[in-house]
Structure 1
Amino acid sequence: MRIIIVEDEALLALELESEVEAAGHSVVGVAADSASAIALIEKESADFAFVDIHLLDGPTGVDVGRFLASKNVPYVFVSGNIKRIPPDFAGAVGAIEKPYTVNGLQNALGYLDALISGKDGLVVPPNLIMPLTTTS
């Protein structure tokens, strides 16, 4: 998968980039604020994104997420403050709470790759928080 990382903490962005590449995916760009993230999303053709909620310009990750959703790019929030995720998850597939383990991240990435590829019968890894679904 071609992946965008939206994370304001440089060390965490580098760590996430390393783990994504170790799993056989490519990182097409990293952004630390919402304007850079939106420009990157417009420029690159990404299959997936990891988005922190709090960026250099404030808690604008939710806005970036909504923009990704409007472009039909699946994403997950990666945040230390998952309580800031709106009830509709802003269109996110799910969320990974910081701090996360390398193993947990790899399990989530494998699940997300399979989900995006359209595989059935998947088991959600325990560290991936999924939005609540309601039935009518």
Structure 2
Amino acid sequence: MSKLKPLRILIVEDEFLIALELESLLQEAGHEVVGIAASSDEAVALGRELSPDLAFVDIHLADGLTGIDVARELSDRHHVTVLFMTANAKRIPEDFAGARGVIAKPYTERGVKEALAYVTAERDEDASNTDWATFIPFDAKSAEDSSSKLS
């Protein structure tokens, strides 16, 4: 990993094995997983208590299609950078619910690493013009293309 400060990451995923695999991948990349939540209430509570830098949020959680609400809450109220991880990107609202990007499930190690690189990159022209292969950042340029890339 680079000399950048490790991120404190919250995983919001109701499939336990997926959450553990992601946790391992994030730790191997040098980041700290501060918690794992399977429901919206648990995710919001952990976000408030732990103040993570980043949250990977699945849209469909144990209590239904609540990941969008979690993303809005974490982003708007707790100033957490949110990335969606979902098999159904069509459910992401047009305003992205405060999220900064999406990784399509089934995710790959490359997709997660690209997402981490995006989050930690300096917000310069080179970073915003990178052609991401498996991670779709949400910005004005990519908003139009995100649906077609993940369909």
Structure 2 residue runs of 5 or longer lacking an equivalent are 1-6, 142-151
Bigger relative contact order, structure 1 or 2 (CA pairs below 8 A, ≥6 apart): 1
Query: Which of these residues, 92, 98, 106, is aligned with residue 99 of structure 1?
Result: 106
Structure 1 residue runs of 5 or longer lacking an equivalent are none
Range with greater deviation from structure 2 (99-108 or 51-60): 99-108
Report the 3-state secondary structure (helix = DSSP H, G, I; strand = E; otherwise coil) of the residue aligned with 1:129.
Answer: strand
1:124 is displaced (CA, Å) by 4.7
> What are the Cα deviations for residues 84-114 of structure 1, in whole angstroms up to 9, with x where unaligned?
0000100100100001211222222222222
> Contact 1:111/1:125 (CA < 8 Å) preserved in 2?
no
Range with greater deviation from structure 2 (95-104 or 24-33): 95-104
TM-score, normalised by the number of residues in structure 1: 0.90
> Contact 1:20/1:27 (CA < 8 Å) preserved in 2?
yes
* Distance in structure 2 (CA, Å) of the matches to 1:108 and 1:90: 17
* Aligned length in residues: 131
Runs of 4+ more than 2 Å apart: none
Asked if 1:15 is matched to 2:43, the reply is no
* Distance in structure 1 (CA, Å) of the matches to 2:63 and 2:120: 30
1:83 is displaced (CA, Å) by 0.6
Identify, as 1 or 2, the structure richer in helix: 2
> What are the Cα deviations for residues 65-87 of structure 1, in whole angstroms up to 9, with x where unaligned?
00011121111000011110000
Once superposed, what is the RMSD of the aligned Cα atoms? 1.4
Match of 2:94 in 1: 87
TM-score, normalised by the number of residues in structure 2: 0.82
Asked if 1:110 is matched to 2:125, the reply is no
> Contact 1:38/1:64 (CA < 8 Å) preserved in 2?
yes
